[in-house]
């Protein structure tokens, strides 16, 4: 699904080294304070958005429609008189849900498949690799169309499609780390102790690929938020009147000539969140020494 991770994580080293000695957070704070700031703000808004929202997210008031930013409505109102700031805070929570669903589906399925393929090799590897190869790069929107046609338009259904599209990203990285580790001493020692291959994969191999998987989760989390916005914009995701970045942009498109600021505000906020997650992914790649640079 993401083109980012395919370039960034092409040469994984399963053994994160020197930088481990300083803590992850202090490393990130020095390496990419912007990423830390943006992602923290996003998570804060996602968790406490409903408590912080100054107005209702869904109550309409046509006498207050399409207002510019003012003292009562800090970011103005939309065409139905709803407070933009409150709806943005609600959208952050929706975006976080989108991210969780995608990373859960892509991470569990992908890492599982990759782990088994790389760890066991042989015919398992061949089959898994072929399947992920076919899915790799397959247009996400077609998967979304099929799934939404089968089920119905909703956040969960749209994100199941995006999660499936994310499977190859996780599978590829898990597979290559598993292959690297296959003949290392500690794996051989475990084998010598008589542990089963599956047990070795779960207790020895898996813990050693957490870093690379977190990097992919960060990049694919960014993609999840982008796809939530795109699919809800198209009407395949979050349904009105519930707020989401995509449904807000959909509303905004109909009033571009009366109230262009709505589209601009929402887009800047989504872009900032995605940028934060992408920068975080870059910084994490450096931390685990998987960067291409």
| 217-231 per-residue burial string, b: 16 or more CB within 10 A, e: under 16 | bbbbbbbbbbbbbbb
In the region spanning residues 146 to 175, those forming contacts with another protein, defined by CB under 8 A, are 146-153
Quick one: 89 or 248, whose CB is closer to another protein? 248
Which of 169, 174, 104, 117 has the alpha carbon at shortest distance from 140?
169
Q: Do 66 and 259 form a contact (C-beta atoms < 8 A)? A: yes
Interface residue with another protein, options 145, 202, 210, 242 (CB under 8 A): 145
- Interacting stretch for another protein, rule CB under 8 A, among 17-25, 49-57, 65-73, 258-266? 258-266
CB of 102 to another protein, least distance (A): 15
CB of 219 to another protein, least distance (A): 10
State the sign of the Cα–Cα–Cα–Cα dihedral 265, 271, 274, 275: negative
Asked if the peptide bond before residue 241 counts as cis, ω within 30 degrees of 0, the response is yes
Please give the C-alpha separations between residue 250 and each of 125, 194, 231, in angstroms, as whole numbers: 43, 58, 10
Quick one: 171 or 252, whose CB is closer to another protein? 252
Cα–Cα distance for residue pair 190/193, rounded to 1 Å? 5
Q: Does 253 bind another protein (CB under 8 A)?
A: yes
- Interacting stretch for another protein, rule CB under 8 A, among 15-23, 169-177, 191-199, 254-262? 254-262
Residues that bind another protein (CB under 8 A): 3-4, 6-7, 10, 130, 134, 136-142, 145-153, 222, 226, 229-230, 233-236, 249, 252-253, 256-257, 260, 263-264, 266-267, 270-271, 274-275, 278-279, 282, 292-293
């Amino acid at each position: 699904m993401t083109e980012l991770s395919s370039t960034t994580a092409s040469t994984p080293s399963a053994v994160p080294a020197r930088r481990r000695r300083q803590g992850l957070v202090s490393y990130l704070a020095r390496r990419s304070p912007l990423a830390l700031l943006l992602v923290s703000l996003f998570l804060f808004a996602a968790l406490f958005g409903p408590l912080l929202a100054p107005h209702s997210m869904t109550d309409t008031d046509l006498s207050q429609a399409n207002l510019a930013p003012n003292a009562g409505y800090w970011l103005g109102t939309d065409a139905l008189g709803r407070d933009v700031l409150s709806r943005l805070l609600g959208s952050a929570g929706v975006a976080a849900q989108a991210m969780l669903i995608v990373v859960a589906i892509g991470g569990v399925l992908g890492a599982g498949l990759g782990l088994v393929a790389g760890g066991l090799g042989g015919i398992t590897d061949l089959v898994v690799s072929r399947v992920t190869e076919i899915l790799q790069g397959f247009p996400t929107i077609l998967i979304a169309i099929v799934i939404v046609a089968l089920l119905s338009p909703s956040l969960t259904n749209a994100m199941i499609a995006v999660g499936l599209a994310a499977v190859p990203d996780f599978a590829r990285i898990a597979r290559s780390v598993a292959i690297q580790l296959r003949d290392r001493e500690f794996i051989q020692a475990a084998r010598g102790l008589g542990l089963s291959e599956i047990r070795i994969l779960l207790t020895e191999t898996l813990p050693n690929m957490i870093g690379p998987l977190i990097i992919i989760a960060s990049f694919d989390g960014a993609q999840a938020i982008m796809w939530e916005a795109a699919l809800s914009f198209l009407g395949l995701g979050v349904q009105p009147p519930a707020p989401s970045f995509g449904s807000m942009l959909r509303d905004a498109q109909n009033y571009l000539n009366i109230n262009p600021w709505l589209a601009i505000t929402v887009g800047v906020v989504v872009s900032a969140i995605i940028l934060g997650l992408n920068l975080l992914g870059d910084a994490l790649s450096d931390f685990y020494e998987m960067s291409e640079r």
